[in-house]
Structure 1
Amino acid sequence: MQDNAAIPFTLNGQKIAVAVPPERRLSNVLRDDLGLSGTKVGCDAGDCGACTILLDGDAVCSCLMAVGQVSGRALVTVEGLPAENPVAAKLQQSFLRHGAAQCGICTPGMLVAATALLEKDPTPDETAVKDALGGVLCRCTGYRKIIAAVLDVDTARGAAELPGAGAAVGARIDRLDGQRKVSGTDLFGADGHETNALLLRAIRAPYHHARFTLGDLDAYARTNPGIVRIFTAKDVPGENCYGVIGPFADQPVFAVNETRFKGEAVAAIVGDPKIIEALDLRHFPVSWEELPAMLTLDAALKPDAPLLHDARAGNVLVRGWVKRGEAVDALATSDAVVEGLFETGFVEHAYIEPEAGIARRVGNRIEVQACTQAPYMDRDDVAKILGLKPEDVRIIPTAVGGGFGSKLDLSVQPFIAVAAWHLKQPVRMVYSRAESIATTTKRHPGSMLVKVGASKDGALTAIDFAGDFNTGAYASWGPTVANRVPVHASGPYYVPHYRAKTRAVHTHAVPAGAFRGFGVPQASIAQEQLFDMLAEKLGIDKLDFRLKNALGPDQPTVTGQILGAGTGIRACFEALKPHWDRAHRDAEAANAQPSTIRRGVGVAGMWYGCGNTSLPNPSTIRLGLKPDGRLALHQGAVDIGQGSNTVITQLCADALGAPIDRFDLLSADTDITPDCGKTSASRQTFVTGKAATLAGAALRQQILRLANAGQDATLSFRDGQLLVVGNGIAHPIDLAGLAKDARGYVLAAEETFDPPTSPLDENGQGNPYALYGFGAHLVELAVDTELGTVQLIKITAAHDVGRAVNPTLIEGQIEGGVAQGIGLALMEEFHPGRGENLHDYLIPTIGDVPPVESILIEDASPVGPFGAKGIGEQALIPTAPAILNAIADATGVRIMRVPATPDRIRTAIKEAAR
């Protein structure tokens, strides 16, 4: 076949021909030439399955195919599914009803693969579903709802009717943005860019630590026609520095003279996309001098390093400290004491969407459209980098294909903003999978030495915790981890004597940042295993031990805070009790048979403070009533799959007393939505949800005053009219006759909520969070003692959510958190400079997640909206320690370095035998 000869094939039922080089990737042709962006690209290596299409009825990865291979064949993408495959329409509705789509980046691939299965086998069993969908990775859902949606396709109904006024909170409504996800029309960072946009690629350090010298850049540009400009640090108009926490902002846009981690950017090339994409960046004129590098805590830590606020002045970035009572003295007099050194490694976020975005200069303003969890933080950092006022920067978040914390940090935004500002032309950037893994933040590796004591009746007496956390080359969220861990390292238990000290330590590794839990999952791996060891030493049932010590509403936390109503940890453990007893009976029966397979049962508890630690944490919501009777909700909380677009609307609707179908959502955009803060720390349902509740209530009060009606009046929103009925009297309001404000609203309310907290004193005493979420997980598993392999059988998860605003979405968060906890416990560890792909870096697949039973406890918080608490972070925290406790129950050995890979388990068993 000749270059650019027309290649004929059938696409979504239509015969077409494309004149492109036959060796071009099919996925690129579909997306870039044919505009079918529903086919997503997550790896370009066939590892993630996001680009799955149907080829002659079979599911294939389009990133692994050249377009020349499909000549004369029939292709179906997600956009063509309902028309070409009647079962697909039912499958899409089943995905919506079951909550099988969260962020939505993997959803097209899942739907295509499931359609191929159902066309061949209309009534598959669970094993067949797992086999058929095993090549498509998901990082959000935990897969269980996807399996349920496929199995239930024949009974799936159409879109559910939305609840009426006052009935939204607690309803299992479909995700309000779900149709875009199942149809493949949601636009992510790499989707829908202008055809005249230039492409940017970064030049990155090949060493963990190096000095560098740039060569003749002008000559390089001249010898490579198509390059429009090369950017370096000297081209940054403002400050060549950014960071998520102001006092610790230390990361340069482009390094100057020296790089501190492998993958750090020193320059960027911008130009014609085809030319830039084809460039071999190894020939870029830069010379390197490799320097000694410290990658681990052992290599980097200096025990006498002082507290430093300048990240460049030493290896210790910051210290954390909480002290209550006299832990050392109490341990000395305790009846039983256990201790251990626990270690965790770097963990990659592995969201299926690599970082991507586009920037445009609009007059003397800059607009950046990218995947982000923190639009207002992005705005302020980009303004600083460009030397602009914040209001001259507009951040427009795209749909976010998973975040989990890493997309709180800037990625593409500084590069494309600088380039677009200078060139006055749209500039886009899309990270490769290798670039994403090599350069974006990771979960902090931890080294934790912990000692726990108890009296002979099982009451905890003291905990002494010391933890060091590898924060990598730059600060990112290192200060937050160092300060959150000491507050949480007691677990949700009453501990009269407590000491916790932490350090965030710099190395020459990729920066470590926020990752679902901010250090609490690492601490729980230590504390919950030690509680098991202590219970064993005292001869007390491990669940009973936790019930005895579970924090009560009138008992002080380790920071001296009395939580009062909404302290639901005891209820979580009590909900697990019948499952605990049954699981032990099952394990005993299985273990009575001679076999190398040993069953085990494990439990772990958790708590998590929602929001920032002892810092202001406000969110603002604007709600407007339009002349046509519809409601505009300016909601700036970025939905990264957790469901804030839906949940916050549910809360606002019930506070106002309006049906949810009257709402028009204006999603995050710094020009049109107020600051709802970052999507992190399980704060959006709580903080932004509370602001939405206040805004709904405030608008309701305005309406009632206008109609001179009482508090129990009902509101009926009609086209152009509002009817207020109270005490049997109807008060019609002609909306078209009311004056409009500058935004076109006849009535409007804007409310802010900032959770009540207090600063911590010199011993970490105070009220760091307005509320905590609580939970406990029970794990049943089997270990092959000859191979060291682990088979998960079932996980039962009890969570106190305060009020279940949307139970389906909460279950999805729990199942997704469980899946990530499985990865943390059993398989995931990133080694800087190695395994920068989704083939070598393993995350749980659909075959790795067992059935998950969610138990929702509703111990309402007085401060939460309708009593609700967050769930996103909490769902991950207890899974790994419960798995490790179950492994110990099955084998008698403790794994104190995670992940508990087969070789580590087998080695521990052999050592115990010796």
Structure 2
Amino acid sequence: MDQRLPGFTLNGETATIAAAPGSRLSQVLREAFGLTGTKVGCDAGDCGACTVLLDGEAACSCLVAAAQVEGHTVDTIEGLTRNNALTQALQASFLRYGAAQCGICTPAMLTAATALLQRGTEVTEGRIADALGGVLCRCTGYRKIIAAVLAVAEGSATLQPTSPANPVGSRIDRLDGMAKVEGRDIFGADEAPNDVLALRAIRSPHHRAAFEIGDIEAFLAAHPGIVRVFTARDVPGRNCYGVIPAFADQPVFASGETRFRGEAVAAVVGEPAAVEALDLSAFPISWTALTAITAMDEALASAELLHPARPENILTRGRVARGDVEAALAAADAMVEGEFETGFVEHAYIEPEAGFARRVGDRIEIQACTQAPYMDRDDVAGLLGIPPENVRIIPTAVGGGFGSKLDLSIQPFIAVAAWHLDRPVRMVYSRSESIATTTKRHPARMRVRIGASRDGKLAAMDFSGDFNTGAYSSWGPTVANRVPVHASGPYYIPHYRAVARAVHTHLVPAGAFRGFGVPQSSIAQEQLYDALADRLGIDRLEFRIRNALTDELPTVTGQVLGEGVGIKACLEALRDPWRRAREAAAAFNSDRRDSLRRGVGVAGMWYGCGNTSLPNPSTIRLGLKPDGRLALHQGAVDIGQGSNTVITQICAEALGAPVEAFDLVSADTDLSPDCGKTSASRQTFVTGKAAELAGRDLRAQILRQTNAGETATIRFGDAVLTVEDGERVRTLWLADLPATDLGYVLSTEQTFDPPTSPLDANGQGEPYALYGFGAHMAEIEVDCELGTVRVLKITASHDVGRAINPTLVEGQIEGGVAQGLGLALMEEFHPGRGENLHDYLIPTIGDVPPVETILIEDASPVGPFGAKGVGEQALIPTAPAILNALHDAAGIRLRRVPATPDRVRAAILERDLSATAGFQPAISKEGSAG
């Protein structure tokens, strides 16, 4: 029961509140005081997003009871922004260094950093890691956060100018960054109407089960405040959805049988207090556990169809084939082979899924975190049986996505409930609900053979991979088609065969996760390339340089890319670091008498930007307002990668306008055209190109209006444009021009769809208009007695075509490195276990080493000002580089990731046992990779 709690000092003022004494402080701050800069990511003290200052020291407010703050002082990001000079300096530094990406963890990082600096002690990188170690970040890779805090401690933080003469290539501050560092960004759980109802889902506790729902009327009568229960029969339209329309198969609510643990069968809606207090075990439902198939081998061998429409339990297949693989492997001077496995990987974004829906007449409006507003719109329309234009999707700020927020989560539940009840309905996933039910990286089992000639030229590759897509399709078709295109890596291979299958099981659906299956295949191919180089006695880096694609060589799909193939430059940029690191590791190992060994590994990468051989358009609207300001309607959802900033920079450069003249009209299906989903490294490339076209077209209109030449300079003023064309100066008074229905005196709408072609039966064609390229070098230290691996440094060389904003590019690379490190060393999700951020480990600030970024700008003629995407591919080469370094250090080749201490130690013991028995693993046509 709520009661008036004793007073405390909140942001410098005396405060009291009526609340239950045991209420979480985080909940009181957010809901009673509206201080939503305090974020909630786990309610368990694991993520640190709710960090506040309690008597000047950082504390997780989700672990503090409201009654405990009596007589104490609490400071949140809102108060620190107003009152604390150290916080203000940190906020400026975070903007300068690009330390805020999605922004969900940023207030907590700033709060914890403020507590550190207020102590007045010497600040070192180690002390920063200790002070901020309780706050998790999934986006930045932490390195820019450390740099920003160090800069303030050393007194060197200043803001960068925000209006450079040439926007493209400038390190301007993130345009939406101030809201992030001040805690004002609105995320999915931060806002809802006053009369909102709450919703909780009833979910299956079994991997597979039959169920019967009992007396709902009696349940409602026994639970005052519960308004209604929804089941499959309440879905007005079709009870299925999916990110790929041809494979739409996931129901809002299961009927009769569930196919994975966590699948929803019903939703309970009611007044927030009643729903929060509800014991879901009281819901009238009976479960009968059924035999579940959870392994791909079982699924492929089973006669029972796990999915009624999927013969052989295979969702789909992908294939790329070129030349005569068997003959080329038989003729090769050296051949290596191996089988590799990866497991489920959780996205672990800090913001759980959240949002609300409300009915407005014959329309439904949904405000929620999403990566794909127009895809959401179309799916929700189908679920409700209404036209797409009657659905409005209003994306909030997104606290990390990485692919999983492409799929619907809360949207179907709240849409159905709000449609029927004609009241706003809100849903916020708990951390365990998010981990248990949302999509994961596909587990993979891959078998690979690679052959080469004596001079180190690749001759042939044979790749086959099975990918566990779980109970429903999600992005399984995309993974199965993308992997065969990429499984060669960025190298020329004349004879090639790659096949992939997405296989159904009774497990949580697997979906998109930063790379769409390419990181898994890279783990296999790049380790075998190392083994092949060793077999031939060729330096591992030089082996890759020797085989790297060039402008003239065809890819495995037969595509000759022409300009913009920068992989050789990326690899060559590592030559000096590789030599120095190898020498340092050899010197370290030469006189060691303990169990520590150091190693160096390298891996290459390529990644096609956008959809595979499918239309992939983005549309931008740009308007000149009577006051002289520019409205940029761009629906590219910024999930932290910086699209709000870089797309504006591109448009500004093309138009010849200052960045600060733009007002951004962000993703909202009622306000901005469709810019497609934020995935596959497509927004900078595709939407950026549309923005370039829009900027150039509006510039041409202005020049025609003033009869000026192409080289003229346009000056944007208050309600007037001044056009300087040599010695001629023309003035365009905007009030004299007629305005459109949108209020613009001049406007344009431009669409760009990358030029691709369909793939034939052998996967030959042009699947992508351009590729991004990169190579990573990892330096590690292994404790051979404990099996622990410490990454000392990553050197990351990436061809980005043109770095529109180098600071943001570096941030994407560093964040990708952190996720790649997690994939290599610690992350594996087991459905039904570890559904929290305590048991499921992701890299912390103490795990991520220094990252040296080398930017290669081999411009693509297709991309905007030559730019390519970088968000997805930054992750891909990190894990194989670390695994190759592990082999270099300890002489072991791990075939299953992550390389946890138990697996590393077991491999070392097996190595020692083989050595004792006098057996030396060989790599030959008959052998394996070690």
Q: TM-score, normalised by structure 1?
A: 0.99
Pair 1:844-2:843 in alignment: yes
Number of aligned positions between the proteins: 911
How many angstroms does 1:123 deviate by? Answer: 3.8
Partner Cα distance (1:448, 1:555) in 2: 26
Q: Distance in 2 between matches of 1:336 and 1:857?
A: 33
User: 2:229, 2:310 → 1: CA distance?
Assistant: 28
Give SS of 1:339's match.
strand
Name the residue aligned to 2:522: 524
Q: Tell me the amino acid that sits aligned with residue 706 of structure 2.
A: A
Amino acid at match of 1:685: T
* Equivalent position of 1:544 in the other structure: 542
Task: For residues 695-740 of structure 1, give each alpha carbon's deviation from its aligned partner in whole angstroms, at most 9, with x where no partner exists.
Answer: 0000001011111110000000100100111121011000011000
* Equivalent position of 1:320 in the other structure: 318
The equivalent residue for 2:183 is: 184
1:248–1:311 CA contact under 8 A, matched in 2? no
Q: Write out aligned runs for 1:759-838 (5 A).
A: 759-838=758-837
* Kept in 2: contact 1:163–1:171 (CA 8 A): no
CA distance in 1 between partners of 2:379 and 2:33 (Å): 36
The superposition leaves residues 534-585 of structure 1 with CA deviations (integer Å, 9 ceiling, x where unpaired) of: 0010000000000000011100000000011100000000000000000011
Deviations 1:334-379 (A, max 9, x none): 0000000000000000000000010010111000000000000000
1:878 corresponds in structure 2 to 877
Report the CA distance between 1:161 and its aligned residue.
Answer: 2.5
Question: 1:302 touches 1:315 (CA, 8 Å); kept in 2?
Answer: no
**Alpha-carbon offset, residue 309 of structure 1:** 10
Q: Specify the alignment match of 1:431 in structure 2.
A: 429
Partner of 1:389: 387
Where does residue 491 of structure 2 map in the other structure? 493
- SS of the equivalent of 2:756 reads coil
> Contact 1:492–1:550 at 8 Å: present in 2 too?
yes
Shift in Å, 1:812: 0.2
The CA deviation string for residues 199-234 of structure 1, in whole angstroms up to 9 with x for no partner, is 000000000000101101111011000001100011
> Does the Cα contact within 8 Å between 2:5 and 2:21 map onto a contact in 1?
no
Distance across 2 between alignment mates of 1:580 and 1:42:
40
Which residue does 2:328 correspond to in 1? 330
Q: 1:13 to 1:180 in 2, by over 3 A?
A: same
Gaps of 5+ in 2: 914-930
Q: Distance in 2 between matches of 1:82 and 1:394?
A: 34
Q: Aligned pair 1:626/2:633, yes or no?
A: no
CA apart distance, 1:160:
2.8
Checking the alignment, whether the CA contact within 8 Å between 1:494 and 1:551 is kept in structure 2 is yes
Per-residue Cα deviation, 1:644-684 (whole angstroms, up to 9, x for no partner) = 00000000000000011100000000000000000000000
User: What does residue range 474-485 of structure 1 map to in structure 2 within 5 Å?
Assistant: 474-485=472-483
User: Which letter does structure 2 place at the counterpart of 1:258?
Assistant: E
Report the alpha carbon displacement of residue 298 of structure 1 after superposing the two structures with TM.
1.8
Q: Find the aligned partners of 1:200 and 1:905 in 2 and give their Cα distance.
A: 45
Residue 314 to residue 303, structure 1, CA distance change in 2 (3 Å): closer
1:379 to 377, 380, 385: 377
Counterpart AA for 2:350 = I
Q: CA deviation at 1:313?
A: 4.6
Is 1:161 paired with 2:161? yes
The question of 1:452 aligning with 2:428 is answered: no
Q: 1:462 to 1:313 in 2, by over 3 A?
A: closer
Whether contact under 8 Å (1:621, 1:688) holds in the other structure is yes
Offset at residue 159 of structure 1 (A): 3.7
Which residue of structure 2 aligns with residue 636 of structure 1? 635
The alpha-carbon deviation at position 122 of structure 1 amounts to 5.3
- Structure 2 Cα separation of the partners of residues 122 and 855 of structure 1: 34
Equivalent residue number for residue 863 of structure 2? 864
Determine if contact 2:164/2:170 at 8 Å carries over to the other structure: no
1:264 maps to 263
Once the two structures are superposed, the pairs formed by residues 575-590 of structure 1 within 5 Å of their partners are 575-590=573-588
Compute the displacement of 1:194 (Å).
1.6
What fraction of aligned residue pairs are identical, expressed as a percent? 71
Q: Which 4+ stretches in 1 moved above 3 angstroms?
A: 154-159, 302-306, 308-314
TM-score normalised by the chain length of structure 2:
0.97
Aligned-pair CA distance for 1:303: 9.4
Instruction: Render the CA deviation track for 1:153-186: whole Å, top value 9, x for unaligned.
Output: 1434454332245x10000000000000000000
- 1:62-101 to structure 2, matched below 5 A, reads 62-101=61-100
Q: Residues 109 and 136 of structure 1 are in contact (CA less than 8 Å); yes or no, is this contact kept in structure 2?
A: yes
- Whether contact under 8 Å (1:47, 1:838) holds in the other structure is yes
The C-alpha deviation readout for 1:608-631, integer Å capped at 9, x for no partner, is 000000000000000000000000
Query: Equivalent residue of 1:419, what SS?
Result: helix
1:294 Cα offset (Å): 1.1
1:346 counterpart SS class: coil
Distance 1:647 1:837, change over 3 A: same
Q: Do the aligned partners of residues 457 and 62 (structure 1) sit closer, same or farther apart at CA in structure 2, a change above 3 Å counting? A: same
Contact 1:657–1:715 under 8 Å retained in 2: yes
- Indicate the SS of the match to 1:301: helix
Aligned to 2:525, the other structure's residue is in SS state helix
Partner of 2:48: 49
Range 589-598 or range 599-608, more displaced: 589-598
Backbone CA RMSD of aligned residues: 1.2
Q: Which residue of 1 aligns with 2:418?
A: 420
Q: Distance in 1 between matches of 2:120 and 2:329?
A: 62
Paired with 1:283 and 1:899, the residues of 2 have a C-alpha distance of 40
Alpha carbons of structure 1 residues 312 and 278: separation in structure 2 relative to 1, 3 Å: farther
Return the offset for 1:395: 0.1
Structure 2 residue corresponding to 1:471, chosen from 469, 472, 477: 469
2:659 aligned residue: 660
Alpha-carbon distance in 2 for matches of 1:155, 1:659: 30
Q: Cα 1:446–1:13, aligned 2, differ >3 Å: closer, same or farther? A: same
Is 2:747 aligned against 1:748?
yes
Does structure 2 conserve the Cα–Cα contact (< 8 Å) formed by 1:305 and 1:316?
A: no
Q: Output one character per residue of 1:418-449: Cα deviation in whole Å (capped at 9) or x when no partner.
A: 00011111100000000000000000000000
Does the CA contact (< 8 Å) of 2:307 and 2:471 recur in 1? no
State the distance in 1 between where 2:304 and 2:664 align: 50
Query: Within 5 A, what are the aligned runs for 1:11-160?
Result: 11-121=10-120, 123-153=122-152, 154-160=154-160
Alignment of 1:627-706 (within 5 A): 627-706=626-705
Structure 2 counterpart of 1:251: 250
The answer to whether the 8 Å contact 1:248/1:310 transfers is no
**Which whole-Å CA distance do the structure 2 matches of 1:15 and 1:214 have between them?**
50
**For residue 364 of structure 2, what is the amino acid of its counterpart?**
I
Structure 1 residue 300, shift from structure 2 partner? 1.2
Q: Is the 8 A contact 1:627 1:746 kept in 2?
A: yes
Note the residue ranges of structure 1 that are not aligned, 5 or more in a row.
Answer: none
Q: 1:715 to 1:873 in 2, by over 3 A?
A: same
2:919 corresponds in structure 1 to none
Residues 172 and 310 of structure 1: CA distance in aligned 2, closer, same or farther (over 3 Å):
farther
SS of the residue corresponding to residue 7 of structure 1 reads coil
Residue 3 of structure 1 deviates from its aligned partner by 5.1
Counterpart code for 2:147 = A
* CA drift at 1:193: 1.2
Contact 2:329/2:451 (CA < 8 Å) preserved in 1? yes
Conserved? CA contact 1:555–1:562, under 8 Å: yes
Given that residues 4 and 16 in structure 2 are in contact (C-alpha distance below 8 angstroms), is that contact kept between their aligned partners in structure 1? Answer: no
Q: Secondary structure at the match of 1:347?
A: coil
Shift in alpha-carbon separation, 1:494–1:803, aligned structure 2, 3 A: same
SS of alignment partner, residue 514 of structure 2: coil
Partners of 1:193 and 1:8 lie apart in 2 by 27
In structure 1, what is the Cα distance between the partners aligned to 2:43 and 2:139? 20
Counterpart position of 1:898? 897
Structure 2 distance, partners of 1:881, 1:70, is 48
CA shift, 1:780, in A, is 0.4
Helix, strand or coil at the partner of 1:452: strand
CA distance in 2, matches of 1:762, 1:20: 65
